[in-house]
Amino acid sequence: MTELLAIGTQKGLFLATSDDDRQSWKVSSAHFFGLAVYAVAIDTRGPTPRLLVGVDNSHFGPSVSVSDDLGASWQEPETAPLAFPADAGAAVERVWQIAPAGPAEPGVVYAGTQPSALFRSTDGGLTYELVRGLWEHPHRPDWGAGFGGQAVHTILPHPTDPQRVLVAMSTGGVYRTADGGKSWAPSNQGIKAYFLPDPWPEFGQCVHKVARDGADPERYYAQNHHGVYRSVDGGTSWQSIADTLPTDFGFPIVAHPRRGGTVWNFPLVADSQRHPVDLRCQVFRSTDAGDTWQPQRAGLPEDPNYPAVLRDAMCVDDAEPAGVYFGTRCGEVFASRDEGESWSAVAAHLPDILTVRAATV
């Protein structure tokens, strides 16, 4: 059994592998060297794992490449794998997220882009079509752009109902469909937008990341631009779970792949102070669905620590016990093979880490 950790950075993709149950890692040289990799997926639904990578060339535009041999070779169609139709009047600027659908739809892969749009593939992620229901939503003219741009950065297909998908965008907030993407409803009740005149709007929130609970598909966790929330009703309403966190600001949030109520994040001091609390590199974990949180820092650097962890730069794997991974804006990658109890370095001195994904392959 090999554990694969895909690390997307500002200057390429690095593939780390472990053959000893995640005790040691071998890190590849850069794939797509010099190009930004904002989105990675490891699709393990088929007989052969497929890597999907959103590659962002600052000169020559975005694209999606796939590999069916764990990065030995990459393929890309002749025509653009992902592009707006002519009548949309827009151009894809960046691919922010690639998300395989549930096992009931083995060929379906979703992609989220900048500007905020959702695309759907039915050929395993080679080519995509715009999901018009979201693109043509009447709210779209009022969706804003955060500091990183305006993008759909989170896509959570329901694990058993292909008609249901939840997405999150910055700014705009959370939207859900229950009819396969034809119609979308804002799902932000209870999420505060302190930066707007009405702090409790129907939409317009700056949700940084959303994770689905590993056991209860109706329970979600959201890390907001100030605010950490839980929904127990499929995203209809949200309640704060930030009371016992040191701060309510941060970017990533991830949930245990199987055990309900276990979730991790990486708090930063504040919007205007984007560094770890007490300048200490530390992850926080809750095992009671966010009611209480505890720091996890054994094995992490003890020196004053400044880098942030971006919204997609934390993930879990599918092993037992679950592995947890994160990468920093200073190019360090850390892994835990015991659900955050202890950590070790996988890599250092890489470019700015944008995304990480891990799976047993």
Q: Which residues bind another protein (CB under 8 A)?
A: 57-61, 76, 78-80, 83-84, 86, 89-92
Least distance between another protein and beta carbon 352 (Å): 11
Considering the complex, state which of residue 58 and residue 73 has its C-beta at the smaller distance from another protein: 58
Least distance between another protein and beta carbon 80 (Å): 5
Considering the complex, state which of residue 47 and residue 89 has its C-beta at the smaller distance from another protein: 89
Least distance between another protein and beta carbon 56 (Å): 11
Q: Contact at 8 Å (CB) between 222 and 209?
A: yes
Which residues face 359 on adjacent strands?
4
Least distance between another protein and beta carbon 103 (Å): 32
Considering the complex, state which of residue 84 and residue 195 has its C-beta at the smaller distance from another protein: 84
- Measured CA to CA, the distance from residue 171 to residue 151 in angstroms comes to 8
Considering the complex, state which of residue 91 and residue 279 has its C-beta at the smaller distance from another protein: 91
- 206 sits in which H/E element: none
Q: Contact at 8 Å (CB) between 64 and 107?
A: no
Q: How far apart are the first and last CA of the chain?
A: 7
Strand pairing category for 314-316 and 173-177: unpaired
Least distance between another protein and beta carbon 86 (Å): 7
Q: Which residues contact 273 (CB under 8 A, 6 or more apart)?
A: none
72 exposed, middle or buried (CB, 10 Å; 0-12, 13-18, 19+)?
A: exposed
86 exposed, middle or buried (CB, 10 Å; 0-12, 13-18, 19+)?
A: exposed
Least distance between another protein and beta carbon 83 (Å): 4
CA dihedral 300, 306, 310, 314 (to 10 degrees): 0
Considering the complex, state which of residue 65 and residue 224 has its C-beta at the smaller distance from another protein: 65
Q: Which CA distances in Å does 262 have to 40, 211, 293, 324?
A: 23, 11, 10, 12
Q: Which amino acid is at 188?
A: N
Considering the complex, state which of residue 78 and residue 302 has its C-beta at the smaller distance from another protein: 78
Considering the complex, state which of residue 80 and residue 361 has its C-beta at the smaller distance from another protein: 80
Least distance between another protein and beta carbon 34 (Å): 8
